């Protein structure tokens, strides 16, 4: 009996152009056309994104110069017919999100806010005129969008606590309030603002064109996770928004929940990209780093960490593929997305910690060219380690998504 694969067996077990971390070859479920598109996207990310990601992260800058290039590749739009270039599935979109986050989680979040949260808000809640006005230009990368839900005093409890007010006065509305953590918020051309109608107490969505009198946004500094996403604090003081810029098909928080249901599944894929990026960095490091005269990859305890990391990734891919298939089948509910986001982000957190540990002291340094006495840097594992914390927290914290699943299991809401 042999315990090692021959080179030919190893080559046959994983097709050369599939992601090695896709251990169970889930990418075989994609069509040839989708696999080929994914290869092109990966090539773009490897040459135009990955080499610059650490520097942008350190400088806390979004890769705004990539906005038109990403549009050319057809990566904006959340699978909606109005904007998508590929005739593809949510499973495919998930793999794209994974690939982008694998190269740069900050870029994945930038796109997730613009294309996922903001464009999906318009796709779900906009009238035909609003979709026609905004989606093509956002899809073409002519404009950048943001999504303003979270407030300084309300993150997890926005459904009941949202304090930003909207008051109708004739053919326009007057908005007052504050928003926090708004990705792309300091430079976006369009910000989807969620506010409570003082007349009926319902949450409504508004398309705020910036700059605008009564609207100010300032970049949040000293962030230590997803530094390549520029988040903003937003203040609105008697901001006037015409009725034609109110999302016409949003009548309350339930409609906003539809947006989150659709985007949350993609956030699970994004988290997966963070885990895969860290795993690949740790594996490369483990093969290169010599201790006790051998590569550390030859030690059982290091192999165990790599095996746990890959098992986490494999289980998370299985869950994410299925939830995206359910989205394609039209049977995905809030609790399905919530379980995927909660489960995957918890596994991601464990995975990046193991991967950082494998890289030892070098695992807390950003990657780059620097080598001291032949010691390879930590291949950027530190960036994935830090970025996992934000993914664990946004689009519903682990706790909130778990409570959504708990409500589905028991029929009892335990949020308060």
The dihedral built from the CA positions of residue 102, 106, 107 and 109, taken in this order, carries a sign that is: positive
Distance CA 233, CA 224 (A): 16
Instruction: Name which position in 155, 252, 295, 368 contacts ligand FAD (CB under 6 A).
Output: 155
Q: Which string of x and - marks every residue 87-126 that binds ligand FAD (by CB under 6 A)?
A: --------------------------x-------------
Distance CA 393, CA 341 (A): 10
CB of 372 to ligand FAD, least distance (A): 32
Which span (26-34, 79-87, 92-100, 388-396) binds ligand FAD, by CB under 6 A? 388-396
CB of 107 to ligand FAD, least distance (A): 13
User: Considering beta carbons, is residue 21 or 400 the nearer one to ligand FAD?
Assistant: 400
Residues 239-278 that bind ligand FAD (CB under 6 A): none
How many C-beta atoms lie closer than 10 Å to residue 92's C-beta?
23
Total count of residues recorded for the chain:
416
Contacts 24+ apart (CB under 8 A), 77-82: 77/115, 77/119, 77/135, 77/139, 78/115, 78/116, 78/119, 78/120, 78/123, 78/262, 78/263, 78/266, 80/119, 80/120, 80/123, 80/135, 82/123, 82/131, 82/135, 82/136, 82/139
Cis peptide preceding 262, ω within 30 of 0: no
Which span (26-34, 82-90, 134-142, 148-156) binds ligand FAD, by CB under 6 A? 148-156
Which span (7-15, 31-39, 290-298, 396-404) binds ligand FAD, by CB under 6 A? 396-404
Rg (the chain; Cα; Å): 22
User: Considering beta carbons, is residue 88 or 184 the nearer one to ligand FAD?
Assistant: 184
The answer to whether 413 contacts ligand FAD (rule: CB under 6 A) is no
Structure tokens of 387? 């970025």
Give, in order, the Cα–Cα distances in Å from 201 to each of 119, 196, 369. 25, 6, 56
Q: Which string of x and - marks every residue 178-207 that binds ligand FAD (by CB under 6 A)?
A: ---xxx------------------------
CB of 118 to ligand FAD, least distance (A): 9
What DSSP assignment string belongs to 378-394? -TTHHHHHHHHHHHHHS
How many C-beta atoms lie closer than 10 Å to residue 212's C-beta?
14
Instruction: Name which position in 38, 70, 138, 149 contacts ligand FAD (CB under 6 A).
Output: 149
Binding-residue total with ligand FAD (CB under 6 A): 21
User: Considering beta carbons, is residue 178 or 375 the nearer one to ligand FAD?
Assistant: 178
Q: Binding residues for ligand FAD, per CB under 6 A?
A: 113, 147-150, 155-156, 181-183, 226, 229, 231, 390, 393-395, 397, 399-400, 415
């Amino acid at each position: 009996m042999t315990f090692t694969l021959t080179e030919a067996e190893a080559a046959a077990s994983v097709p050369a152009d599939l992601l090695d971390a896709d251990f169970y070859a889930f990418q075989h479920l994609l069509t040839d056309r989708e696999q080929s598109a994914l290869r092109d996207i990966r090539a773009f990310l490897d040459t135009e994104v990955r080499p610059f990601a650490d520097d942008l992260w350190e400088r806390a800058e979004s890769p705004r110069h990539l906005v038109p290039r990403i549009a050319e590749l057809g990566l904006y739009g959340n699978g909606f017919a109005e904007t998508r270039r590929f005739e593809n599935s949510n499973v495919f979109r998930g793999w794209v999100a994974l690939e982008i986050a694998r190269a740069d989680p900050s870029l994945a979040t930038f796109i997730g806010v613009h294309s996922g949260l903001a464009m999906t808000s318009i796709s779900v809640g906009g009238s035909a005129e609003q979709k026609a006005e905004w989606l093509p230009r956002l899809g073409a990368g002519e404009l950048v969008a943001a999504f303003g839900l979270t407030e300084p005093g309300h993150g997890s409890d926005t459904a009941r606590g949202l304090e930003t007010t909207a008051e109708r006065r004739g053919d326009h509305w007057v908005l007052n309030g504050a928003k926090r953590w708004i990705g792309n918020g300091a430079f976006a051309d369009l910000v989807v603002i969620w506010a409570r109608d003082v007349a009926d107490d319902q949450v409504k969505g508004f398309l705020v064109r910036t700059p605008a009198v009564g609207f100010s946004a300032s970049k949040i500094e000293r962030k230590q996770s997803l530094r390549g996403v520029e988040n903003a604090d937003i203040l609105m003081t008697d901001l006037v928004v015409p009725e034609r810029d109110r999302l016409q098909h949003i009548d309350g928080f339930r409609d906003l929940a539809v947006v989150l249901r659709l985007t949350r599944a993609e956030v699970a894929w994004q988290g997966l990209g963070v885990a895969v990026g860290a795993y690949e960095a740790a594996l490369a490091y483990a093969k290169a780093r010599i201790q006790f005269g051998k590569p550390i990859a030859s030690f059982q305890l290091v192999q165990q960490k790599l095996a746990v990391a890959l098992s986490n990734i494999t289980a998370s891919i299985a869950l994410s593929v299925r939830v995206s298939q359910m989205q394609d089948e039209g049977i995905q509910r809030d609790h399905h997305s919530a379980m995927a986001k909660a489960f995957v982000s918890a596994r991601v957190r464990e995975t990046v910690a193991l991967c950082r540990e494998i890289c030892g002291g070098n695992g807390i340094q950003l990657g780059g060219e620097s080598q001291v006495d032949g010691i390879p840097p930590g291949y950027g594992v530190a960036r994935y380690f830090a970025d996992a914390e934000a993914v664990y927290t946004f689009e519903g914290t682990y706790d909130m998504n778990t409570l959504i699943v708990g409500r589905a299991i028991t029929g009892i809401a335990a949020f308060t």
